[in-house]
Each structure stands twice: as C-alpha cells, then as structure tokens.
C-alpha cells in the first residue's frame, strides 16, 4: 500500500537534504503534477466528449496531431503560463520554443516535454504518457538563444514521466535515485509508492516494433534473433511486449528489467524518437535505477544536441541487455 507521503512533502524533504536546493525546483514539480492530474482527468472523459480523433493538422515532426495531443500541450502551457521560474517551454507539439513572459527576468529553467506520448493509443483507450526534462539555463556565452537550450542529457536537473494507465503514476529523478508516486483520484494527490527504484541488471523482456524488422541494420536483426533463441542458461527466449507507448514500455522495463529498442533504420539512421524530450529524460531515469540509455553506439546523455527536435536511435533498459546490443553493433558478437 502507498505510504501517506505526498509528492509535495517528499520534494520538500528532498530539498532539506540538499543545502543548495531552492524552492524553485519544488514549484516546477508541483506544476508538472498539476498538469498530469488535468491530463489524466481529460483522458478519463475522452470517450464521452468530442475530443478523440485528429485535428487535421500536422506537427513539427510531420505527424498527424490528435485533438488530445493538442489539449495536453495546451494544459502544460497553461499551467506554466504564470510560473516565474520556468522561462522556456520546448514541446514535441510546438515548432519553436516558447518564452514565458511572466518569467522573462526571473526564470532560470527550461522545460522540455512530450505532452502526450503514444498518440496512436488515444482512440483505443490504451496507455499514454507525458515525459519531462528540466534544464537550468546558464549565462554562458552562446551565439543564438537556441544554443543555450542545446544541453547534454547529463546536464539535466531533473526528469521523469507520467503514465496514464490503469492508475496514473508519476516517476521522477533529480539525480538522487528514482521515486514513484501513484495518483489517489479520491483526494487528488500523488502518494509515494516506491523510492530509490533499482532495476534488474538483466531482464527477460524486449519491447520493439517488430514490424520494422526488415528495415533495421543487420546487427539489430541478429540481436533480436539471438533473444528469440532457446537457451536455458541465458534465460532465452525473451518475451516480447510492446504497447506502442514508450512511457508504458519503459515503465515495465524499469520495474521488471529487459530492454526497449527503437533502432535506426537503413533508410532512416536517426530513428524515430526525439532526443531532448523522449530519449534523454528516460535515460536519466533508467540510469539512476542502474540501467543504461544508448543509441547502440554511444550513451544518449553524452550526445551534444544540434536541434531541439533532433531524433535519435534508442536502446534503453537493463545494463547487461543494453551492453549486449552494443556488442552486436560493434561486431563483437
């Protein structure tokens, strides 16, 4: 059973442990939790009001925008509109970064987010998520305002996600372990349900869209073949699980072990997922739980981003499983 420790109380406790911490971070987390509660409420009503389906528009990624993608994005923007601490918002659903007028002088942080992850699940009542990544803006000399936002994942101050599943769960790290909260809808509070989560070094599950198998690079195909072979000593074959929602699949792997992969393809080497608001924050969480986030060739969080909406191949999960895929990529196996 969840303990009666609310997210607010937990963050204040964490703040007291770090002398340099300010109330600003607590304020940001409280706003993210509020956005999450509002999105969870909208999703629970989605089949009852005219909010399913497409808006008829295409986003910066060239993907069809669903009404709920747009609504979730508006929710984040609305919640942060009067925040004096977050100066810049960068979202999957907005081509350009948005500066919060209220925080123009006082804001020291940038918030990257994917407001609704797993959009193809919207119309079928399957799991969805939101992903967030917080960077502290510094005063360093940069050639353009955009360059100030292009920080490596290793510089994230905090990151996490909300999973809208059978219950709504908020998972975050600020570099001091991974903490999980479950929304009690009766009282509208996120309550601590697990702390200092650690994932198994190896798992028995892989998550990937196998429909793309023929398009993958040869080492990735060989790796997945290897996982499907029978060998009791190494626990093979692995089971396959894929929801079509990155947050839900990574959450399963965080708790049970294994790996999620959305690799690059021969004709699309950059892959599908976005570095700054999908791969980097989830890699921060998973690495804090003892796992790894990789492109298959290099660590996600050491990549120097070139653009806010940059894509990247992603292999994320248990340390030994991700390391093995990297060995296949090097031709060592």
Q: What is the contact surface with Mg ion in residues (CB under 5 A)? A: 114, 117
Q: Which residues pair with 128 in a beta bridge?
A: 164
85 within 8 A of 108, measured Cβ to Cβ: yes
- List the x/- string, 230-249, binding to ligand AHM by CB under 6 A: --------------xxx---
How far apart CA 177 and CA 179 sit, in angstroms, is 7
- List the x/- string, 195-224, binding to ligand AHM by CB under 6 A: --------------x---------------
How far apart CA 49 and CA 57 sit, in angstroms, is 20
Extract the tokens encoding 172. 């975050």
Using rule CB under 6 A, residue 282 touches ligand AHM: no
Q: Please confirm whether the linkage preceding 266 is cis (ω < 30° from 0).
A: no
How far apart CA 109 and CA 230 sit, in angstroms, is 49
Q: How far is CA 233 from the centre of its chain?
A: 33
Using rule CB under 6 A, residue 24 touches ligand AHM: no
Using rule CB under 6 A, residue 119 touches ligand AHM: yes
Nearer to Mg ion, 26 or 119 (CB): 119
- List the x/- string, 78-97, binding to ligand AHM by CB under 6 A: --------------x-----
Nearer to ligand AHM, 192 or 245 (CB): 245
Phi-psi region of 156 (alpha: psi -120 to 50; beta: other; left: phi over 0): beta
Using rule CB under 6 A, residue 117 touches ligand AHM: yes
Using rule CB under 6 A, residue 39 touches ligand AHM: no
Q: Contact positions toward ligand AHM, by CB under 6 A?
A: 63, 92, 114, 117-120, 209, 244-246, 272
């Amino acid at each position: 059973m969840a303990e009666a420790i609310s997210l607010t109380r937990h963050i204040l406790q964490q703040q007291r442990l770090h002398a340099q911490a300010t109330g600003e971070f607590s304020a940001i987390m409280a706003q993210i939790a509020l956005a999450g509660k509002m999105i969870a409420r909208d999703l629970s009503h989605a089949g009852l009001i005219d909010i399913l389906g497409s808006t008829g528009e295409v986003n910066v990624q060239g993907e069809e925008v669903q009404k709920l993608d747009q609504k979730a994005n508006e929710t984040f923007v609305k919640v942060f509109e009067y925040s004096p601490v977050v100066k810049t918002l960068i979202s999957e659903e907005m081509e350009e970064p948005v500066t919060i007028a209220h925080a123009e002088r006082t804001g020291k942080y940038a918030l990257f987010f994917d407001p609704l992850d797993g959009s193809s699940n919207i119309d079928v009542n399957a799991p969805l998520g939101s992903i967030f990544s917080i960077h502290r803006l510094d005063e360093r000399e940069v050639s353009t305002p955009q360059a100030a936002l292009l920080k490596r994942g290793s510089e994230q101050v905090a990151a996490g996600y909300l999973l809208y599943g059978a219950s709504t769960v908020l998972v975050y790290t600020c570099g001091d372990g991974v903490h999980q909260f479950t929304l009690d809808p009766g009282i509208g509070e996120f309550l601590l349900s697990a702390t200092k989560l650690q994932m198994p070094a190896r798992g028995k599950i892989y998550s990937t869209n196998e429909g793309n198998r023929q398009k993958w690079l040869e080492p990735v195909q060989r790796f997945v073949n290897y996982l499907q072979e029978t060998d009791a000593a190494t626990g093979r074959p692995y089971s396959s699980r894929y929801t079509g929602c990155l947050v839900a699949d990574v959450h399963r792997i965080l708790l049970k072990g294994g790996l999620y992969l959305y690799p690059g393809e021969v004709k699309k080497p950059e892959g599908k997922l976005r570095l700054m608001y999908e791969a980097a924050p989830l890699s921060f969480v998973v690495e804090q739980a003892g796992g790894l986030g990789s492109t298959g060739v290099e660590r996600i969080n050491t990549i120097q981003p070139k653009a806010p909406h940059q894509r990247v191949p992603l292999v994320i999960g248990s340390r030994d499983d991700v390391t093995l895929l990297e060995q296949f990529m090097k031709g060592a196996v």
